[in-house]
């Protein structure tokens, strides 16, 4: 499933990029993250445990995030997540454009799910992902506006 959208942010593109490319600050912006991998690997990958609250209850998903080379000026990640019976794979790309004085963040997500998440949620996964992106970008905007001290 491929989803696209855009959001206007108050923070400048460089400040938004700084949050989205720093794994620790990005983890602060993601909802329901309760564990951040202690280290960022040499390839730039990092691990997060995310506990989304869905109709099935709270399901801890162990995810690994790999930064990718996207189009020039874009920020891209490949994300793979697993539980004992669920799997999710995301390919994300965000393009940040100056929107004086803020940023227009255009995004594309290619999502694949398996297990109960797919069978129970296939009709609502798109709406859930779009809502989560809106929450993440709002949190990124807040962190970007607060500056580097927000990650301390």
Q: Where are the domains of the chain?
A: 2-151
What pTM was estimated for this model as a whole?
Answer: 0.84
pLDDT of residue 54: 65
- pLDDT tens-digit readout, 20-71: 999 989 999 998 887 776 678 888 899 999 887 666 677 788 999 999 987 8
Share of the chain above pLDDT 70, in %: 85
Q: Angle at CA 71, nearest 5°, toward 68 and 76?
A: 30
Structural tokens at position 110: 């290619």
The answer as to CATH 3.40.50.1980 being correct for domain 2-151 is no
The Cα–Cα gap between 56 and 117 comes to 8
pLDDT of residue 152: 38
Average pLDDT over residues 117-145: 81
Is residue 147 packed enough to be buried (19+ CB in 10 Å), middle (13-18) or exposed (0-12)?
exposed
- pLDDT tens-digit readout, 62-99: 999 999 987 888 999 999 999 888 888 999 999 999 87
The Cα–Cα gap between 75 and 150 comes to 21
Mean pLDDT of the chain: 85
Q: Please name which of 90, 92, 77, 89 lies closest in space to residue 115, comparing C-alpha atoms.
A: 89
pLDDT of residue 119: 62
- The three-class DSSP label of residue 122 is coil
* Total Cβ atoms within 10 A of residue 67: 17
């Amino acid at each position: 499933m491929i989803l696209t959208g855009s959001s206007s942010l108050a923070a400048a593109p460089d400040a938004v990029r700084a949050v989205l490319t720093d794994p620790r600050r990005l983890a602060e912006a993601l909802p329901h993250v309760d564990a951040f991998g202690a280290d960022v690997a040499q390839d730039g990958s990092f691990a997060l445990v995310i506990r989304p609250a869905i109709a099935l209850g709270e399901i801890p998903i162990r995810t690994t995030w790999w930064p990718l080379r996207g189009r020039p000026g874009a920020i891209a990640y490949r994300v793979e997540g697993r539980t004992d019976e669920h799997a999710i794979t995301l390919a994300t790309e965000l393009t940040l454009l100056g929107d004086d004085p803020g940023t227009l963040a255009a995004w594309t997500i290619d999502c694949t799910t398996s297990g109960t998440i797919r069978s129970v949620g296939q009709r609502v996964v798109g709406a859930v992902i779009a809502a989560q992106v809106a929450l993440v970008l709002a949190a990124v905007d807040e962190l970007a506006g607060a500056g580097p001290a927000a990650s301390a």
